[in-house]
Structure 1
Amino acid sequence: MSSKVYILHENEEWTTPLKGELEKLDVPYEDWFLDSGKLDLTEIPPEGIFYNRMSASSHTRNHRYAPEYTAAVISWLESHGRLVLNDSRALALEVSKVAQYNALREHGITTPKTIAAVGKEHLIRSADSFDGSFITKHNRAGKGLGVQLFQSKEALKQYVDSDDFDESIDGITLLQDYIQSPDASITRCEFVGGKFLYAVKVDTSEGFELCPADVCQVGDSYCPTTPATEKPKFEIIEDFDHPILKKYEEFLKANGITFAGIECIQNENGDLFTYDVNTNTNYNPDAEKKGNKSGMKAIAETLEKALLQFK
């Protein structure tokens, strides 16, 4: 059996653009949809390159245990010496912001003040540690899950005690300093092959649940009939350069991450805070078309090169 690229994932819509780019390059691939399944540990994995695209938000698509199953599959692959791009360490960071922040700080990367709490009583009590505004977010998240802004402990208590309280799937809710950007934007830096590809400015003025993939864009602001003069949500930043990029690349290399989007924000004083690492990165087609970039093409070319080296 000839070797090929194996794509490990749980969302067909997010993976379709990659398959198209692999087909253009005539790269053989096989789809492993890991929302559920069975794994015989006595079997030998096939030969090839394995690309992990498992997402922390899989439970929002009724794939609750997809990350756990994928972790088992990757452990099996790595035990047989198979090359996994975005390996077991990368997956561990994908599903835990606590793990992300600890790893980022090890590389001298500043993250917002964060408290992880399990249980409503501890969550409410944690608000005493913040002097100003703070947000909640899920430890295992993606798409801005659980992000709410609060100005006081009492406001948090009302939310936590209400039917609207949205608990993280792993039971860990984060309280975090609210970093206010002067222009209500964040920057997402995309990396392919462990190297910086481009940066995107993301408008967050209408909320936090922003995924760059077009399949995530819902609501009037993303309707095709919306006037073209409206400010786009995603814009590629031309010639983006910042000293943080070197630290990001070192962080990725040390943690088995080949492909990622890293999100950061600057306050009014110009201080930069890094708050999210997405190892299942997606790209905005409109921004890429305007900026003449293609993240999925770059990923496909990286996979092609890895497969040729493997052969």
Structure 2
Amino acid sequence: MTDLAVLYEHPAWFQPLFAALDRRGIGYLALHADGHAYDPADTAPPAPLVFNRIAMSSFLRQPEHPIFYTQALMAHWAGTGARVLNGAGTLAVDASKARQLSLIAKLGLAIPATRVVHRAADLPAAASDLRFPIVVKANIGGSGAGIIRYDDAASLAEAVAAGTVPESIDRVLLVQGYVPVRGGKITRIETLGGRFLYAIDVDGGGSFDLCPADVCLATPGKPAITLTEARPDAALIQAAEAIAQAAKLDIGGIEVMIDDRDGTPRFYDINALSNFVANPLDILGWDPHERLVDWLEAQLAKVRA
């Protein structure tokens, strides 16, 4: 039995990871979520170290997505003694923007003004004490899916009446004050093992789809986005590390935007699925997959000890 199993869903996102493992001669078992099944009575995990690579955006690619299945599976494998990276607890945070914002706020960090509901009919009342424009977000989203901006209360009410507001696969919605972002850029701070790895500024030209990976950028019809290396100050890095550690994030990105109205950094997203930036050698000058494999080797040494 190999010491490393990787559960994944996207057909192309993890080729760089697999290639990096191959270059190092590290054996692994690649498990595609489609067709996968498990026995709850089976006490043998597929490997001592399990790396969960299931994306929240998987529901966009197939209605029979593995998001909730993976939470149960990761909890099962952890219960059999496997060390699970980005396990069930982390997935529960990744799969809920509402939980993410609560976690961030409890750390004393600023977030966008937000109200959470479970019925579309409650959106207008929930938004009544927010400043317009607002956005309505699906609690489980991905690649900007399930986000619509409304410039006034009347347009929100009309959308609710017409049944055109976003939907979330868990039936939870967020209504959030729209934040004018300084310079039109958000910053994504990548972490590994709870520590800063690198950061990029992402300018989506007004789009909510800010996925920075190669496959995302090549998607037909996707608005052009600009990626540049970012150098956040120590306070932002410390905040991102605190979020990653509170979310038990083994690897993942923390997204923050600077509110142009008052300069406040507002953290708004925790993403446990890091594809890493496209063209890393051009943008960063190094390949983060090599650092990831370094870290995986260290985790493998621990489970073998």
Question: What's the TM-score, normalizing by structure 1?
Answer: 0.90
Match for residue 126 of structure 2? 126
Match for residue 281 of structure 1? 274
Partner-residue secondary structure (3-state), 2:263: coil
Match for residue 240 of structure 2? 248
Pick one of 237, 258, 266 that aligns with 1:266.
258
Distance 1:293 1:158, change over 3 A: farther
1:294 matched to 2:287? The reply is: yes
Distance 1:212 1:175, change over 3 A: same
1:234 matched to 2:233? The reply is: no
Alignment of 1:196-215 (within 5 A): 196-215=196-215
Distance 1:245 1:156, change over 3 A: same
- Aligned-residue identity in percent: 27
Alignment of 1:1-311 (within 5 A): 1=1, 3-43=2-42, 44-62=44-62, 64-162=64-162, 164-217=164-217, 218-219=219-220, 233-237=226-230, 239-268=231-260, 269-311=262-304
CA distance in 2, matches of 1:181, 1:82: 42
CA distance in 2, matches of 1:151, 1:67: 32
Offset of residue 198 of structure 1: 1.0
CA distance in 2, matches of 1:283, 1:161: 40
* Deviations 1:68-99, CA, capped at 9 Å, x for gaps: 11111111111122111112111001110011
Instruction: Output the amino acid matched with 2:254.
Output: I
Runs (5+) with no aligned partner, structure 1: 224-231
Bigger relative contact order, structure 1 or 2, given CA contacts below 8 A and separation 6+? 1
Runs (5+) with no aligned partner, structure 2: none
CA distance in 2, matches of 1:69, 1:13: 21
CA distance in 1, matches of 2:181, 2:247: 29
Instruction: Output the amino acid matched with 2:135.
Output: I
CA distance in 1, matches of 2:151, 2:67: 34
CA distance in 1, matches of 2:204, 2:242: 28
CA distance in 2, matches of 1:148, 1:242: 33
Match for residue 228 of structure 1? none
* Deviations 1:210-243, CA, capped at 9 Å, x for gaps: 21112112346778xxxxxxxx611112x43231
* Deviations 1:244-278, CA, capped at 9 Å, x for gaps: 32232233223321101110000122100000010
Work out whether residues 4 and 50 of structure 2, in 8 Å CA contact, stay in contact via their aligned partners in 1. Answer: yes
Partner-residue secondary structure (3-state), 2:162: coil
Partner-residue secondary structure (3-state), 1:129: coil
Offset of residue 151 of structure 1: 1.6
Deviates further, 116-125 or 81-90: 116-125
Instruction: Output the amino acid matched with 1:259.
Output: I
Work out whether residues 214 and 284 of structure 1, in 8 Å CA contact, stay in contact via their aligned partners in 2. Answer: yes
Work out whether residues 135 and 147 of structure 1, in 8 Å CA contact, stay in contact via their aligned partners in 2. Answer: yes
Partner-residue secondary structure (3-state), 2:109: coil
Work out whether residues 198 and 240 of structure 1, in 8 Å CA contact, stay in contact via their aligned partners in 2. Answer: no
* Deviations 1:129-186, CA, capped at 9 Å, x for gaps: 2123211111001111121222211111223333643311111121111111131110
CA distance in 1, matches of 2:5, 2:47: 10
Moved over 6 A (4+): 220-223
CA distance in 2, matches of 1:141, 1:306: 30
Work out whether residues 96 and 139 of structure 1, in 8 Å CA contact, stay in contact via their aligned partners in 2. Answer: yes
Work out whether residues 9 and 33 of structure 1, in 8 Å CA contact, stay in contact via their aligned partners in 2. Answer: yes
Number of matched residues? 301
CA distance in 1, matches of 2:78, 2:222: 43
